[in-house]
Amino acid sequence: MVTNNKVLLTNLILVMFLGSLLLTGCNSFPTNASSSSDTLSDTQIEPVSTNTSSKEMTDNLPRLEGMAKVELTVNGSPVILEINGVDAPITAGNFVDLVQKGVYDGLVFHRVIKSPQPFVAQGGDPQGKDPNFPVSRLGTGGYVDESGSKRLIPLEIKLEGDSEPTYSKGLGQQAGVSSPNVALKHERGALAMARSAPPDSASSQFYIALADLEFLDGDYAVFGKVVQGMDVVNGINQGDRIESAKVIEGTENLQ
């Protein structure tokens, strides 16, 4: 009975986290299990039309045709990320392109959840470039290009055995599938994109899983993993900054 109650409590906590992730947009992960009030309004979200084909959605976005590695420096120590353009070419290409543009240099980890159980470390809001911008207000920003337009990328999920990813559609719990057979899973150290409720609303914000989070599989796009420095990731606290981000392998694979 004690074991069953413990399982039920864990499942309840995870459901509360997931609900907050959906409700708070790119400010996806609250500092606790309570709901957040800083949701994105419809005017802040510009989802790709569901009538747009995958090819039309992705034609003008960077692609990573292969693998790459990115080094983040956090608290003076390196974190090496393996970026998977084989199974998530658009999501991976977007991240590598933003790293090369220097977008992540100096940005804040504005949501770090370690209790009541390890969850995520989330960062990548460009508003955090301003040292005077309050960390408590971060979580609604995304990458804005030279034309003044916010770059949005489609939800990209590849199932094992599929030759191409599925775009703009959740394939996990949001679609009623409890254990989707995804190619890239939310295992501890997984690198994935934060987004708001519309599937095509990710931009620059990302998170690193601090534990296995299989209940997110199929609904949020994993595009890489930590291959070195997970101890550094575990030591990240809310307000810590990415001192630098650079591509150390695979730049030739960015198209």
Q: What is the pLDDT of residues 212-247, one digit of tens each?
A: 999 999 999 999 999 999 999 999 999 999 999 999
Residue 137 CB-density burial (10 A; 0-12 exposed, 13-18 middle, 19+ buried): middle
pLDDT bracket for residue 35 (50, 70, 90): very low
Max Cα-Cα span within the chain: 59
Residue 50 CB-density burial (10 A; 0-12 exposed, 13-18 middle, 19+ buried): exposed
Q: Which of 26-40, 69-83, 219-233 has the lowest mean pLDDT?
A: 26-40
**Alpha carbon 71 to its chain's center:** 17
Single pTM value for the model: 0.83
SS3 20: helix
Residue in this structure with the two tokens 């940005």, named with its chain if needed: 107
> Is the predicted pLDDT of residue 50 greater than 90, yes or no?
no
Between CA 178 and CA 175 the distance in angstroms is 9
Tokens of residue 239, six digits: 């307000």
Handedness of CA 140, 143, 149, 151 (dihedral sign): negative
Domains and CATH numbers, the chain: 2-30+47-253 (2.40.100.10)
